[in-house]
Each structure stands twice: as structure tokens, then as C-alpha cells.
Amino acid sequence: MLFRYGCTSTKLWGGFEMLKTITLGSCVSVQGTFVRALSCGKILVRVGDRTFTGMPV
């Protein structure tokens, strides 16, 4: 695995799948596969079949 800028990247089928950590509220964190960044500064991450929106750590 590669560790850069607080993110973890894993090589997957010749591309990279980036894992990101977000916060939901004040004390809940979620780590999942990066989906996309939103214009408001939040990002989407996918964990299994669920998608979460929050502020990046």
C-alpha cells in the first residue's frame, strides 16, 4: 500500500483505488473508497453498497 497525504491507495486492476476518511458530525468517522468531491468541500466515499457524504479528515 502507498501512504500519501493522509490517504491510503491500493493497486487494483492496473488502476488505483483511493481510500479516504471522512467525519460525520463531531465524533463518527467513516473510511471507504473515494467516489468524488462535491463543490461544497465534502466528499463521497463508498463502503460496500452504501455511500456516505462528509468532510475529509
What are the sequence ranges of the domains in the chain? 2-56
Report whether 16 contacts 9 (CB < 8 A): yes
Model pLDDT, residue 39? 93
Question: Torsion over CA of 15, 11, 23 and 36, rounded to 10 degrees?
Answer: 0
**Mean pLDDT in order along the chain per 10 residues (57 residues):** 42 69 92 92 93 93
**Measured distance CA(3)–CA(53) in Å, rounded:** 22
Model pLDDT, residue 12? 52
* Side-chain-facing half-sphere of 28: CA atoms under 13 Å: 5
